Amino acid sequence: MVKIICGEKGKGKTKIMLQKANDAVGETDGSIVYLDKNSKHMYELDNGIRLVDVSEYPITGMDGIAGFICGLLSGNHDIQLVFVDSFLTVSDVDAGGLEKAIGTLKQISDEVDFVLSISLEKAQIPDDLKEYIEVAL
């Protein structure tokens, strides 16, 4: 399953993502991973959540982030939930490539659920992806 939290930059998507991740700790039996472009939010996350600063790794493009996620999943079969903050930045995808990127994650999502923050207004999200929007700011 893929869920999207969307809205313009600075509207509070990260705050919602952090809250959802922390809330999920008590509701999820497996592991939770939080991918971000930096480690700025390390102390805002429950210590049961693994924060990964993707800028520390040579990841480029959606294929790179998909491979990275698959590597995480192959190394830890208990991962049930992956949060990706600043998805467009982390995956180096623009609005035009969003459908393909979400399609790639949907292929992986048989094993894990994804929650993505995307810095686009709801109107900018392609119609085929609107069903995945959980929160629009």
Is residue 47 within 8 Å of 41, Cβ to Cβ? no
16-33 pLDDT, tens digit per residue, is 999 999 999 989 889 999
Judged against a pLDDT cut of 90, whether residue 84 lies above it is answered with yes
Six-digit token string for 55:
């800028």
pTM of the model: 0.94
For residue 90, give the H/E element and its range: helix 87-91
- Cβ burial of 98 (10 Å; 0-12, 13-18, 19+) is buried
34-67 pLDDT, tens digit per residue, is 999 999 988 999 999 999 999 999 998 999 999 9
The sign of the torsion formed by the CA atoms of 103, 105, 110, 115 equals: negative
Q: Domains (ranges, CATH) in the chain?
A: 2-136 (3.40.50.300)
Judged against a pLDDT cut of 90, whether residue 111 lies above it is answered with no
Compute the distance between CA of residue 40 and CA of residue 26 in angstroms, rounded to an integer: 23
Residue type, 124: Q
